[in-house]
Amino acid sequence: CNPIYHDEITEQQVEEVRLKYELPKRYLLTVGDMEERKNFGLIVDAMAELSDDVELVVVGRATSYTKRMKRRIKTLGLEERVHFLRNVPLEDRPAIYKGAEIFVQPSIYEGFSVEILEALSVGVPVIATRGSSHEEAGGDGSIYVSSKDCGELAEAIERLRGEPLLALQMVERGYQHVKLFRSEVAAYNLLKSYRRIGITLAE
């Protein structure tokens, strides 16, 4: 992911973006354009099963699917607990991630979820859905749930919010996992692969 996510993020920076975007003090976060495959409805339905102090911040481009989800949010009475952010510049995103309690990636399909790496890089525990590329991106320190079971997602969120030690352990394992995706490590592994099949690159 972008090197900006590897920079230190101060509490002051987190507070500044919280005030700038009027974010709640505690929130879940999901990031990505609101396409149907992103399965945002899973989080919306899970929110209805969680206590009223759980709020969600959504960062991404609006689509026709967003309109459907907003109708669902209204039906469930969640308008005050779900916050949509659009056109967030790159420089503000790491602090928005850092301020989150949990990053949730509910997609049915992803080629590769860079957003998971972004969350792990700044020290936020991740809950993602099983399958696709999520396990590769999130490593064995993240929690995985069904893409069709909002109850399982709600249980995972409740568990993680109620077990600070588990959250800290997931953060530490996440830091170790994202090292595998640093550009220098990727370049080294690519060179090893070339050499394994007998290709020599010019110096």
CA distance 60 to 63: 9
Q: What is the pLDDT of residue 202?
A: 55
Average pLDDT estimate for 91-116? 94
84 pLDDT more than 80: yes
| DSSP per position, 142-186 | SEEE-TT-HHHHHHHHHHHHH-HHHHHHHHHHHHHHHGGGSHHHH
Average pLDDT estimate for 32-46? 91
Share of the chain above pLDDT 90, in %: 75
The mean predicted confidence, pLDDT, of the chain is 92
112 pLDDT more than 90: no
33 pLDDT more than 60: yes
Residues 143-202 have pLDDT tens digits of 999 999 999 999 999 999 999 999 999 999 999 999 988 777 677 667 878 888 876 655
Distances (CA, A) of 91 to 14, 96, 107, 150, 175: 12, 10, 25, 32, 21
Residues 61-83 have pLDDT tens digits of 988 888 899 999 999 999 999 99
Q: What is the pLDDT of residue 188?
A: 65
